[in-house]
């Protein structure tokens, strides 16, 4: 985000030139870092410090597919090296997220903001907004910890070496932490502006995070109830109600909408491969890159190389046919004997997300066959080569560290699907709710509308014990957000380990298509489908549902703080 360092640069240059005008500048208080007594005086001081929180949001890696390879940790994709968590191979590490430095920085910011208020003779809209950003970031950091560890100590003061009441604090229950997160977000919502300028958080992004957090906690408490990860006296409907209300506030008050300007699937495709998303009304919050400042080579990787990964057969099968029917019952389905067959009469988002034979990688090259026979990052593991995020009109690959593809944090489609799911979980979903959420998304994709009264039974539903409408909402979520990195969060909150216990499969392999490749014989199952993990992880993946839904507390932390308890299934020493 180009604005992050600009105030710092201006501030440092100003200090430098002012010092140079003074013959005694060597005797001045150091001004290249915030100095107690000289900082925390102005709104600009608050903004400079708050800018330092934004890198915690993440972005494109220096090499790789970024968010469009992020589903490697789920049943949507098959990385060449199996995901450790799904495989039950997570080890107890001191570097698995039990880090409190960023939370301490936010707590310091919130504490010191009171000094800025005093120095300015009271608060104002600019000060309030920046304090709201502090609450937002603390909520986001704690939500990350909630997803990793469940309940953790709640620390809302900057720790000192003598802060024993915090340094040796016990873990709070997960619902306590969830409520604290939502309380912080309520503070952020009450303080933040609707529009704080390009690339800054605003009130609607606080509502968006509130929608996400509450939906996660509601589903976790409902579907983990009665397990080692459940909580006493859980009230999932409280959280579903909060999520629905936050979502609806954005829908009613926000400036966002699903972009359907061309009326084609291009409106979906171009969300993910643009350098500038300022004019896209669906993208709520995103990060801009520019050459010479923060550009990476992400666009070079996405769409140009398979990355030793690929989508799973299960993800492909989740896409409906053009009549709105699942492949198990639709007369339009042409089978899966070849890759080309699978794309016929299917939801257009399938080809927006996955390459078909004949698709252009760039202006110089079309897909002739899927590179399942290559090595390293040039290999597609499953036959389903990820296309999402690619930009096929590029003549040549951009050079390393030269991409400026935008990075998306929140888009409006999530808000709509959060609302539909929360209302369905509450049992209050109406056809009108479907029309203003799922059917808006389906229209952009070129798919038929959904009608609650006539949902087609699917013998292959992922969740046969749940209602048809919940199954279809979850399907829509999987397809719309496919290979964007949302899937693991959904699987965890739904307690859906049954979906990734079996070894994942790829497309149907035809040896004649690779007859010119010497010494190539991929692993396939009895029906001829690729089975990449047949040897390295035969049978079921090793995810332990009594242990692996949460990460372990590092052992050194248990020794340092005797009041901490370990998560279920993990050793304590």
Query: What is the band of 402 on the pLDDT scale with cuts at 50, 70, 90?
Result: low
pLDDT of residue 394: 61
State the sign of the Cα–Cα–Cα–Cα dihedral 423, 424, 429, 432. Answer: positive
On whether the CB atoms of residues 444 and 260 are closer than 8 A, the answer is yes
Mean pLDDT calculated for residue range 355-373: 91
Could you give the 3-state DSSP secondary structure of residue 525? coil
Query: What is the band of 405 on the pLDDT scale with cuts at 50, 70, 90?
Result: confident
Query: What is the band of 37 on the pLDDT scale with cuts at 50, 70, 90?
Result: low
pLDDT of residue 194: 98
On whether the CB atoms of residues 438 and 417 are closer than 8 A, the answer is yes
Mean pLDDT calculated for residue range 38-55: 95
Range 522-527, long-range pairs (CB < 8 A, 24+ positions)? 522/372, 522/373
Mean pLDDT calculated for residue range 404-420: 96
Q: Which residue has the higher pLDDT, 365 or 4?
A: 365
Mean pLDDT calculated for residue range 264-275: 95
| DSSP code at position 339 | H
State the sign of the Cα–Cα–Cα–Cα dihedral 392, 440, 246, 195. Answer: positive
Q: Residue 475, Cβ neighbours under 10 Å: how many?
A: 19
On whether the CB atoms of residues 570 and 548 are closer than 8 A, the answer is no
For residue 379, give every residue at least 6 positions away whose Cβ sits within 8 Å of its Cβ, in sequence order, or none.
Answer: 80, 306, 308, 371, 372, 373
Above pLDDT 90, what percent of the chain?
80
Mean pLDDT calculated for residue range 28-53: 78
Angle, alpha carbons 221-226-231 (nearest 5°): 45
Residue 299 has pLDDT above 70, yes or no: no
Query: What is the band of 30 on the pLDDT scale with cuts at 50, 70, 90?
Result: very low
Mean model confidence pLDDT for the chain: 90
Residue 201 has pLDDT above 50, yes or no: yes
Above pLDDT 70, what percent of the chain?
89
| pLDDT tens figures, 303-329 | 778 999 999 999 999 999 999 999 999
Q: Which residues pair with 508 in a beta bridge?
A: 529
Mean pLDDT calculated for residue range 62-83: 92
Q: Which residue has the higher pLDDT, 138 or 405?
A: 138
On whether the CB atoms of residues 163 and 169 are closer than 8 A, the answer is no
The pTM score is 0.92
Q: Residue 108, Cβ neighbours under 10 Å: how many?
A: 16
Query: How far from 345 is each of 326, 341, 390, CA to CA, in Å?
Result: 11, 9, 23
| pLDDT tens figures, 454-471 | 999 999 999 999 999 999
Mean pLDDT calculated for residue range 335-356: 98
For residues 479 and 458, give the distance between their C-alpha atoms in angstroms, rounded to a whole number. Answer: 16
Residue 34 has pLDDT above 80, yes or no: no
Range of 38-42, 157-161, 298-302 with top mean pLDDT: 38-42
Q: Residue 457, Cβ neighbours under 10 Å: how many?
A: 10
């Amino acid at each position: 985000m180009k604005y992050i360092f600009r105030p710092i640069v201006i501030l440092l240059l100003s200090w430098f030139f002012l010092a140079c005008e003074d013959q005694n500048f060597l005797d001045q208080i150091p001004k290249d870092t915030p100095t107690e007594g000289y900082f925390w005086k102005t709104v600009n001081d608050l903004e400079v410090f708050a800018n330092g929180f934004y890198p915690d949001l993440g972005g494109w890696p220096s090499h790789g597919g970024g968010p469009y390879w992020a589903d490697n940790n789920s049943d949507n994709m098959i990385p060449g090296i199996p995901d450790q968590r799904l495989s039950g191979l997570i080890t107890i590490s001191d570097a698995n997220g039990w880090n409190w430095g960023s939370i301490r920085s936010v707590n310091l910011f919130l504490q010191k903001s009171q000094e800025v208020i005093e120095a300015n003779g009271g608060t104002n809209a600019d000060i309030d907004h920046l304090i709201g950003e502090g609450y937002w970031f603390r909520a986001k950091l704690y939500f990350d910890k909630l997803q990793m560890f469940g309940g953790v100590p709640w620390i809302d003061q900057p720790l000192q070496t003598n802060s024993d009441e915090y340094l040796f604090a016990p873990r709070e229950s997960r619902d306590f932490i969830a409520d604290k997160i939502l309380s912080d977000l309520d503070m952020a919502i009450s303080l933040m502006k609707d529009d704080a300028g390009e690339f800054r958080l605003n009130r609607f992004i606080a509502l968006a995070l509130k929608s996400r957090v509450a939906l996660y906690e509601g589903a976790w408490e409902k579907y983990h109830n009665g397990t080692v990860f459940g909580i006493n006296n859980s009230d999932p409907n409280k959280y579903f109600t909060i999520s629905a209300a936050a979502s609806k506030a954005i829908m009613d008050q926000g400036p966002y909408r699903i972009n359907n300007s061309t009326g084609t699937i291009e409106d979906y495709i171009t969300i993910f491969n643009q350098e500038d998303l300022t004019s896209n009304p669906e993208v709520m919050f995103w990060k801009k890159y520019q050459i010479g400042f923060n550009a990476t080579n992400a666009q070079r990787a996405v769409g140009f190389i398979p990355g030793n990964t690929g989508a799973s057969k299960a993800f492909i099968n989740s896409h409906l046919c053009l009549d709105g029917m699942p492949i198990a019952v639709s007369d339009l389905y042409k089978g899966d004997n070849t890759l080309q067959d699978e794309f016929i009469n299917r939801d257009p988002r399938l080809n927006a997300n996955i390459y078909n034979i004949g698709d252009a990688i760039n202006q110089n090259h079309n897909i002739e066959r899927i590179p399942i026979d290559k090595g390293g990052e040039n290999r597609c593991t499953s036959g389903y080569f990820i296309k999402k995020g690619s930009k096929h009109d590029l003549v040549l690959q951009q050079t390393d560290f030269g991409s400026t593809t935008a990075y998306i944090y929140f888009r409006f489609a999530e808000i709509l699907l959060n609302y539909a799911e929360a209302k369905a979980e509450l049992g209050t979903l109406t056809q009108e709710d479907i029309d203003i959420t799922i059917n808006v998304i389906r229209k952009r994709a070129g798919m038929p509308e959904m009608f609650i009264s006539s949902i087609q039974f699917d013998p292959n539903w992922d969740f046969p014990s749940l209602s048809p409408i919940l199954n279809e909402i979850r399907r829509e979520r999987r397809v719309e957000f496919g290979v964007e990195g949302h899937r693991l969060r959904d699987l965890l909150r739904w307690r859906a380990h049954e979906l990734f216990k079996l070894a994942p499969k790829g497309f149907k392999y035809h040896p004649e298509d690779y007859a010119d490749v010497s010494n190539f014989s991929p692993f396939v199952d009895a029906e001829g489908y690729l089975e990449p993990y047949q040897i390295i992880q035969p049978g079921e993946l090793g995810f332990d549902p009594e242990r692996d839904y949460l990460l372990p507390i590092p052992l050194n932390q248990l020794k340092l703080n005797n009041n901490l308890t370990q998560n279920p299934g993990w050793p304590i020493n």
